[in-house]
Chain A
Amino acid sequence: MIEMLSFSFMQRALIAAVIVGVLCSVLAFFVVLKKLSFVGVGVSHSALGGVALGVIAGVDPVITGGFFATAVAWLIGWVSRKGHMSEDTVIGTFFSASMALGVVLLGLARSYTADLMSYLFGNILAITETDLWLLGGLTVLVLLFVSLFFKELLTMTFDEELAQADGLPVGPLYFGLLTAIALTVVVTVKAVGLVLSSALLVIPAATGFELAKDFRRMLAISVATGVIGSVAGLVVSFYLDVASGATIVLGLSLIFLMAYTLSPRKPWVARVLAKRREKSASPTL
């Protein structure tokens, strides 16, 4: 471990893993409860079109990718809320079209073809100090947005129509959430890649959901899972010399599988827990 930390690229990677773990797992809380997983997948894959545009135009791909992903996220939100088309049809259409655009554009810029894999699957070991500042800055913004409007976001997530009847600005809140998801996808490109970032926007909170019946505990478990899974994945990838993004996602998936198997939502687990409670409550002779 100490040997690993002697490399400055590993120190940066470790800090990035912690930040990505926190950022993604906080948003994942709303993604899972509001059932936006497919939106996350759609936006993350769509971002490739924007990243490729940046590569071709010689602009920072994070900037073009950010605009592109946000535009796609808003379009998904707008079309689905207007009710002209179902959300999954919109996502299915945009996500494949934008990805195809990205692959073609990156193909045209032949000198950059090698970058395609790093955009798709990420390389957390290549994180620079600037990337860290960008990641940290967005994390602060997202955490501010979530903490400032937590009760409103939770109310909207629970029942959107009731929230609207309460007079909450449901539209701006929803689009704020979509923007946060889109920007998160783009700034985590280097760490885990576009394809795998959607996993980070689901798995930590899905783990929390399996283990908790109270949203506070769900959020805490989500953040813990995000951070532990990301750091553990990074460490394992270092020692096994395998792709870091994929190892992080595999680590998270493993934690989720354990949570799913032992979830108190499972009838057999609930029975065992109830028996234990009965035993501990009964007076000892």
Chain B
Amino acid sequence: MDVTVEPRGAATVVRLVGSVDGITAGPLEARLLEQVQGGAVKLVGDLSGVAYTSSAGLRALLATLKATRSQGGDFRLAGVQPAVLKVLELSGFTSILKHYPDVDAAVQSFGS
């Protein structure tokens, strides 16, 4: 899993490339929480490069969501691929977490 971080306006964009699953979930969660602990509580997860997810991956995303919200921020997703979106829908994620078609829209949703 490749993770790149880029500040964009009021938000911090974390671009994920690869699978979000039981193999990558641990390091991914650590990397995301590191961002939150460093003050990046308005976080955008760019999932346009993620074609696969499993329950362990979902738990990493949920931990990030909880961490940002507990500090007054939010974790929003962008560019979620159809196969991943189906799993997010079935798992109830789309009812607790905001997602946008692309990174620009997700960044703008945080305002300036």
**A-B complex is real:** no
* B contacts, CB < 8 Å to A: none
* A contacts, CB < 8 Å to B: none
